[in-house]
A and B are shown apart, each in its own frame.
Chain A
Amino acid sequence: MARMKFLCDADRCIECNACVTACKNEHEVPWGINRRRVVTINDGLPGERSVSMACMHCTDAPCAAVCPVNCFYTTDDGVVLHSKETCIGCGYCFYACPFGAPQYPRVSNFGTRGKMDKCTYCSGGPEADMTQAEYIQYGTNRLAEGKLPLCAEMCSTKALLAGDGDIIADIYRERVVTRGYGSGAWGWRTAYGETIQA
């Protein structure tokens, strides 16, 4: 089985935010929530880079470790999903996640913020694949249709890569070797305990 990962090649990202928009539209993500966002580091300074970030679907996911009701599960593809049925909206996963992925539909104290929402790697939730029930809670299930996440699929510069971790790592490594530089596989060390050495 593939081990799905995201990789953002910051040396290619032009901060167009198409990935952010594509995600919001594809899954009809509620107001106030952005499952993906683009962060610009060293904005306006030499060496500025933009990184598109969402849930990284971590190895030994910290969110899953702290959830008091154990609502996370990792799929065979290595995607970290959760059940909104079980979630109590306590906020613990938000404080455990190194990437700020978990978010809540309402801004108030924890307990009345509603069920946690985050990137599903376009692969829905525990409900049956490609059903209306799944769509309403989690959005579309592109993986079940044999497609990769939309954000990466429609990235115009192919900065954002999604797919099997080994394959996208190879692509990135080749790019770094060819062009002679690379600012790093953002988030990999923190999410997967390893980075890509060119």
Chain B
Amino acid sequence: MTSRAFAAAMVALFAAVALLFSAMPETMAQQVTPTASSVQEDELLRALQTGENVSGRVSIPDRQAGELIKPDNKGWADLSQGTLQTFAVGILVVALIGLALFYFIRGRIALEGGFSGRSILRFGWFERLAHWMLASTFIVLALTGLNLVIGRAVILPIVGENAFGTLSSWGKIAHNYLAWPFMISLAIVFVLWIVHNIPGRIDLEWIKQGGGFMKKGVHPPAKKFNAGQKIVFWCVVLGGAAMSYTGVMLLFPHLAGTGADWQFYQVVHAVVAGLLSAVILGHIYIGTLGMEGAFDAMGKGEVDENWAEQHHSLWAREVKSAAVSPAKSDEAIAPAE
């Protein structure tokens, strides 16, 4: 390059730079009008849809920390502390009052004609093991869960902060670990009893007669499980599955997805817990206090023949005819008469 060409190039360059600088102040002034261009918190909040957060970039490894403001979290806090608490207490109180009224009005459903002294095998040891595993884990799960909802209002004032903290942390551990045997026994019970719980035409008749609960001496026919028991079965299976699914999501938040998803599962978990507990209270009542002779079915595994005929007439007939001609069936062997 000649020196003249070089000088010309330099002049051109300086001219260009000078031009750039002279143009600068105008564009700069436009860009730095902070009122026009700064992000406004109010605007960002206003633009949020439900479930959305004000978020940005963080330079720390925890990406979640980029969520700056999550206004909806307050809504969940109100819901879980207010409505859900009222719901849980409400449904349990209603269930208990209902059962108490039923007991005082209808009384214990007696075994008509008393015990015959002959018994029929109703549930084998494996069925009873599965049932009691499900029942005991359910009760612990329900109580430790309920503790999270109302323990603070009910138990804390009585035992004090330290004892309540210890109690609740044990409760939390119990809830987390007993969930697994609960799920296992739920699956076993489902497989064992689904054949007896397919809804059929005779269930309509049973329901029409109110299960015979309302009047003495009325006993609609039923197979191994009557319509009421089938309802309990499906409530436990479907409700238990819902509890298991939402519970696992609560336990492993990364499976649940966003915070809003976790909150949704928590609400479902709490609502289904309330409903299912009410159903189970009814189930416990009728299996113990409410009906003479019923507890033996799950206790000893054997029921009195009269009880079987009154409450499960078709099943009783089936079992007995199988016992008369044992060759036809490999079902449980009934004692010789």
Contact = CB atoms under 8 A, between A and B. Distances in A.
A186 B41 contact: yes
Interface in A51-84: 51, 53, 62-63, 65-71, 83
A183 B41 contact: yes
A37 B58 contact: yes
A41 B165 contact: no
Interface stretch (A94-102, A127-135, A142-150, A154-162): A94-102
Interface string B225-259: 00000000000000000000000001111000001
Interface in B64-85: 64-71, 73-74, 76-78, 80-81
B164 interface: yes
Contacts of A17: 59
Interface stretch (B122-130, B166-174, B195-203, B207-215): B166-174
Given A68-B151, A90-B148, A49 B38 contact: yes
A38 B73 contact: no
A43 B57 contact: yes
28 contacts: A10-B41, A37-B62, A39-B55, A39-B56, A39-B58, A40-B58, A41-B44, A43-B57, A49-B38, A51-B56, A62-B74, A62-B78, A66-B80, A68-B168, A69-B164, A86-B165, A87-B165, A88-B165, A88-B169, A95-B77, A96-B74, A98-B71, A100-B64, A100-B68, A181-B38, A190-B74, A195-B41, A195-B42
Query: How big is chain A's contact interface, by range?
Result: 35 or more
Interface string A143-183: 00000000000000000000000000000000000011101
Contacts of A15: 59
A83 B44 CA distance: 34
Q: Which DSSP category, helix, strand, loop or mixed, fits chain B's interface?
A: helix
A18 to B, nearest CB: 13
A38 B58 contact: yes
B310 interface: no
Q: Which DSSP category, helix, strand, loop or mixed, fits chain A's interface?
A: loop
Contacts of A49: 38-39
A70 B38 contact: no
Interface in B106-162: 147-149, 151-152, 156, 161-162
A49 to B, nearest CB: 5
B31 interface: yes
Contacts of A51: 56, 68
Given A40-B56, A43-B56, A69 B165 contact: yes
A68 B71 contact: no
Contacts of B151: 68-69
Contacts, number: 166
A180 B34 CA distance: 9
B168 A97 contact: no
Contacts of A32: 62
B78 A65 contact: yes
Interface in B1-54: 31, 34-35, 37-42, 44-45, 54
B23 to A, nearest CB: 18
Contacts of A192: none
A85 interface: yes
A90 B266 CA distance: 12
B105 interface: no
Contact of A99 (B45, B58, B66, B70): B70
Contacts of B182: none
Nearest to A58: B74
Interface string A11-28: 100010100100000000
Given A68-B168, A71-B165, A100 B67 contact: yes
A184 B59 contact: no
Contact of A37 (B37, B65, B152, B252): B65
B174 to A, nearest CB: 10
Interface string B262-284: 11001000000000000000000
A70 B161 contact: yes
B327 interface: no
A183 B55 CA distance: 15
